[in-house]
Structure 1
């Protein structure tokens, strides 16, 4: 048998193994999802190897605080263009620090009427999911329309943003800002590959997402301790019927071989308990990690 034939057979075997494994992952994820009281959409893409898997990938899902990623992208694009600066100061009025919402800024500066730099606002908003900080950022950049236009111009479809965090305190408004798992994965890939922001601002935002302090028991819980994960979470409250509108976690994790996987998970109209819902996200993440690490091991051997 010639070396060429051996090489071709090796390639064919590797492709067959990869297809079999991705089908195994799909079955495992479907088993995780099947019995859950929620509508679930998942989109996965290996950035370097280009493996993809979508389950209900076009689910029209409420964004919730995931949209803080889109807002940060838009803000940093304006920084790249010289229209804003990370060091510029933004005056925070006391009336901007709404009560009954998640806001580390308000907790630290309850009286307001002080300045934060744009860098500080981004850190509060992206890394710590501050709802007041998010709405202040939106004011700085010109509102939701500015974000919509920017994401549209990137060629990302299935994305709508009209309302801020304060607006979304009304239940029916939870379903206004929407996107899909596939659209999120596409945007995360563009961002990671430097097709959205300049090199320095890309690294800056990626680091803020790695430093995310929210959702520790969600996607992060499905990964080995110490795994690099750049992500953004989003969650709604529950209504009088114990229905949770959404719980989401989207991000990029780093494999032991240095490659990266995008994972976008959206849950909609949930009647599971919160801990059980968090475990769904963790279990999906764990299965995805297992597939890509085992695949890498098989190829190397």
Structure 2
């Protein structure tokens, strides 16, 4: 067992012990409301300790079964980075719904339109001078592999940043986020990343509504949800403590920031919607790390620790699965 896996296991054990202690201190005769309150308090305190130890600003939001909400450091200051590709996909699908267009619509792309220096698996997969891809293909690249060229192209050709920002404001609270720049524009001036910000709760609400509400047509929304379940990036973050959970269904999107001239990591993020059918639990989890004094692997471990604590507490306390019916 690797050292990182051992640490995650220890965290899960500690969290489980905390739950047992809580129930020992609050016997079954206690009102359900108090028991649930104590669970929320334990979770908040556990996440707060992780955030306090983080050499950067760390914010977390959890929405359990579309009901109970827990936040830590919930300020609208965290650079989204590629997390905003979920927002982009929803805005584009809404636009296509209104225009009666299919995601199988073909688009021709001249290779000269693409940036060979940015992160772009699409360019490696398609060496041809003229690319012919569907919108579905491009969205799959942005959501599963966080392709920057595909994202930039969709913003330029179809639904721009301003329209994306306006549409998302109909889904989550306006003060909780802002989208002002494309990946291409942030690459020119890294400080612009701070203008594409979110609160952890804003991101968690978006993921929660994506999986529990109707935002766009069923076919397009199902496509986004299923594609996020295939996300290939950042498996060392929220996903890490869930890799050996056979029943877990995880849809997530990562965002990774620049390193500034002082060696500070601007942002390291992950947002997810997790279903645990065996426990009858579903939850949205958003973890954002800002201005981290360390490398990406270290930042990922803080996100994984937060995910491990949430998972452990929720699965050890099945009463949490019924919060929405109390």
- Establish whether TM, by shorter chain, passes 0.5: yes
Q: 2:254 aligns with which of 228, 233, 249?
A: 233
Answering whether residue 270 of structure 2 is matched by residue 252 of structure 1, we say no
Give the whole-Å Cα distance in 2 for the aligned partners of 1:299 and 1:268.
31
Report the alpha carbon displacement of residue 111 of structure 1 after superposing the two structures with TM: 4.1
Q: 1:298 to 1:109 in 2, by over 3 A?
A: closer
CA offset at residue 271 of structure 1? 0.7
Residue 16 of structure 1 pairs with residue 38 of structure 2: no
What residue number does 2:196 align with? 177
Pair 1:160-2:178 in alignment: yes
Number of residue-to-residue matches in the alignment: 291
The within-5 A match list for 1:183-198 is 183-198=202-217
> CA separation of 1:21/1:117 partners in 2, compared to 1, >3 Å: closer, same or farther?
same
Offset, 1:224: 4.0
Deviates more, 1:23-32 or 1:113-122: 23-32
Q: 4+ residue stretches of structure 1 with deviation over 6 A?
A: 297-300
Q: Displacement, 1:217? A: 0.7
Q: Give 2:307's aligned residue.
A: 285
Q: Shift of the alpha carbon at 1:198?
A: 2.3
Equivalent residues of 2:180, 2:196 under 8 A apart:
yes
Q: Normalising by the residue count of structure 1, what TM-score does the alignment of the two structures yield?
A: 0.90
Q: Residue deviations 1:209-253, cap 9 Å, x none?
A: 000000011111022424211111000121221111101101101
Is 1:58 aligned to 2:86, yes or no? no
Q: Secondary structure at 2:169's aligned position in 1?
A: helix
Conserved 8 A contact 2:110-2:131: yes
Q: Normalising by structure 2, what TM-score?
A: 0.84
Q: How does 1:1-301 map to 2 (within 5 A)?
A: 13-48=31-66, 50-157=67-174, 158-169=176-187, 170-225=189-244, 226=246, 227-255=248-276, 256-296=278-318
Where structure 2 has 5 or more consecutive residues not aligned to the other structure, the ranges are 1-26
The answer to which of 117-126 and 50-59 deviates more is 50-59
Tell me what 2:14 maps to: none
Q: Secondary structure at the match of 1:219?
A: coil
Say which SS state the counterpart of residue 258 (structure 2) adopts. Answer: coil
Check 1:52–1:154 CA distance in 2 against 1; reply closer, same or farther (3 A cut): closer
C-alpha RMSD of the superposition = 2.0
The range that moved more, 125-134 or 156-165, is 156-165
Deviations 1:11-46 (A, max 9, x none): 853322221122111121122121221101111111
SS of the residue aligned with 2:216?
Answer: coil
Contact 1:156–1:186 at 8 Å: present in 2 too?
no
Is the 2:254–2:270 Cα contact (8 Å) retained in structure 1? Answer: yes
